[in-house]
Amino acid sequence: MERYKEEFIEFMVESDVLKFGEFTLKSGRKSPFFMNAGAYVTGSQLKRLGEYYAKAIHDQYGDNFDVLFGPAYKGIPLSVATTIAFYELYGKEIRYCSNRKEIKDHGEERVVIIEDVTTSGKSIEETFPIIQAQGDVEIVGLMVSLNRMEQGKTKEKSALDEIREVYGFKTAAIVSMEEVVERLYNKECLGKIVIDDKMKASIDSYYEKYGVQK
């Protein structure tokens, strides 16, 4: 696993964004883990978050794109922080936009969509027509922070795989839950064991019920 991915996992735990315990999701599923991107609230957190997104986007999609589209409202600070980080890390000027701001300035635009986490694909259903309405726009791909690796609308595919299949563009995440478990299971993080044998058993049980085949 790339070092920046390990650092990102530690960063999520440190920021109290990724929690382990017992949680009831909006879907009604009982989950042993929960991610709340709203817990990123400080300047230093947003700076680091933008850097992790920029590295992941560069790894997956390179720098041959023009615009980062962050769906309102959570996607707006993500797109702002990441465009700044992309310039600082790679020297490439990328524009940001959201539902409230026009993408198209001139000519064809290549767009990467940025979100916190995708569980059902509902936000993309709303976002896709907004982007398409801009005219000569190509969606390069979608980047989220965490791939939960669980069933989307069907039992056979994850939400990210469903989006890829339905809309025809690539999807990726900074890290997957498989990588989170790899980094945290019985390994110290911030002076404690976050995923011990009991929590690992809960996660395994959850994925037996709601996971998708790789």
Given 26, 106, 192, 214, the catalytic residue: 106
Residue type, 56: A
Has 155 been annotated as catalytic?
no
Which helix H or strand E contains 177, and what residues bound it? helix 177-184
Question: DSSP readout, 37-48?
Answer: GGG--SHHHHHH
d(Cα 167, Cα 80) in Å, to the nearest integer?
25
Has 74 been annotated as catalytic?
no
| 3-class state of residue 138 by DSSP | strand
d(Cα 81, Cα 51) in Å, to the nearest integer?
8
Given 19, 74, 101, 104, the catalytic residue: 104
d(Cα 141, Cα 119) in Å, to the nearest integer?
17
The dihedrals phi and psi of 85, each to the nearest 5 degrees, come to -65, -40
Answer for the pair 55, 97: CB distance below 8 angstroms, yes or no: no
Query: Listing from the earlier edge strand, what are the strands of the sheet with 95-97?
Result: 95-97, 67-69, 109-114, 137-147, 170-176
d(Cα 98, Cα 25) in Å, to the nearest integer?
26
Please name the residue that has the structure tokens 């986490």. Answer: 117
Q: Which residues are catalytic?
A: 104, 106
